[in-house]
Amino acid sequence: MTLGTNKTQELRRKAAKLNEQFAGLNARQILSRVINGGVAGRAAVLSSFGAEAAVLLKLVAEKNPATPVVFLDTRKHFPETLAYVENLTDALGLTTLVRARPSYGQLAVSDPDGNRHATDPDRCCYARKTLPMISTLRNFDCVLTGRKRHQTDDRAQMDVVEVQESWLSINPLADWSLDEVRAYAREMALPAHPLVSQGFQSIGCQPCTQPSEDYRAGRWAGSDKTECGIHITKDGKVRRIGANTNG
Ligand code: SF4
């Protein structure tokens, strides 16, 4: 989808204004303004239901448990992740789960033998994550994410509020360290993803995730790929590796 220049400029102005408003605020204060105050319009939260997902979902549930929670179901997740989606939303009292999935018709064209992850992971992510995500999130004005600056080099400089396609991406946990995330999860006794106890530190699709002592080294091991192709670049475009990048 290509946004008009005026719409893109309007979103960028709005993001800049919100970044000013959110400067110095903590995650709960930002979530209050977004979820309860509606300062960025219709809000959803995007969750991977991975190893750290419970923290943002707990904070969101405290503000409004009916906030739509979008789960990108690539149809390649671990069975443990699919069970965790159900268990965690129940435990937190979240009432509006939205599954964004690639259709079987789309997959018959883009990944007919189900092995695209091995031959072209960027195109696999594009078909299984990017396209379903855009189709679902275009219905919202802003999307809350659990992205943090410590996670990858690409994220080190990210703003709390960014422009992505036709919506704002809001990262209230941007400055949380891994230790802070884990300490909060312990303090709140949040249900852990069942694979964490088996040595998984960052959990995505089953074919592309393995146990690792090093954070993130367990994702796309053996390649330099660090992002799914579903997040944005500094110029406000969705990163669509292996596809048209003009948004
Ligand atoms: S993480 Fe792996 S299986 Fe999942 S969409 Fe990307 S390449 Fe495909």
187: domain range?
A: 5-208
Tokens representing residue 62 in the block: 């405290």
Q: pLDDT band at 151, cuts 50/70/90?
A: confident
Residue having the nearest C-alpha atom to atom 4 of ligand 1:
205
Q: Any residues with CB less than 8 A from the CB of 242 and at least 6 apart, and which?
A: 120, 122, 123, 126, 229
Quick check: is 236 in a domain?
no
Q: Are the beta carbons of 59 and 172 closer than 8 angstroms? A: yes
Quick check: is 38 in a domain?
yes
Quick check: is 112 in a domain?
yes
What is the SS3 assignment for 59?
A: helix
What is the SS3 assignment for 162?
A: strand
Q: What is the pLDDT of residue 39?
A: 97
Closest residue by Cα to residue 117 from 232, 225, 201, 214: 225
Quick check: is 231 in a domain?
no
Quick check: is 122 in a domain?
yes
Check if 117 has its Cβ closer than 6 Å to any atom of ligand 1.
Answer: yes
Residue having the nearest C-alpha atom to atom 5 of ligand 1:
125
pLDDT in tens, 12-56: 999 999 999 999 999 999 999 999 999 999 999 999 999 899 999
Residues forming beta bridges with residue 44, ordered by sequence position: 143
Mean predicted confidence (pLDDT) in 121-132? 94
Check if 207 has its Cβ closer than 6 Å to any atom of ligand 1.
Answer: yes
Quick check: is 197 in a domain?
yes
Q: pLDDT band at 1, cuts 50/70/90?
A: low
For the chain, the domain total comes to: 1
Q: Which atom of ligand 1 is nearest to the CA of 127?
A: 5
To the nearest whole number, what is the mean pLDDT of the chain?
88
- Tell me which of 180 and 231 has the higher pLDDT: 180
> Where in the sequence numbering do the catalytic residues fall?
228
Check if 229 has its Cβ closer than 6 Å to any atom of ligand 1.
Answer: no
| CATH classification of the domain holding 203 | 3.40.50.620
Q: pLDDT band at 206, cuts 50/70/90?
A: very high
Report how far Cα 17 is from the mean position of its chain's Cα atoms: 23
Whether 214 shows a pLDDT value over 70: the answer reads no
Quick check: is 223 in a domain?
no
Check if 168 has its Cβ closer than 6 Å to any atom of ligand 1.
Answer: no
Q: What is the pLDDT of residue 202?
A: 84
Whether 3 shows a pLDDT value over 70: the answer reads no
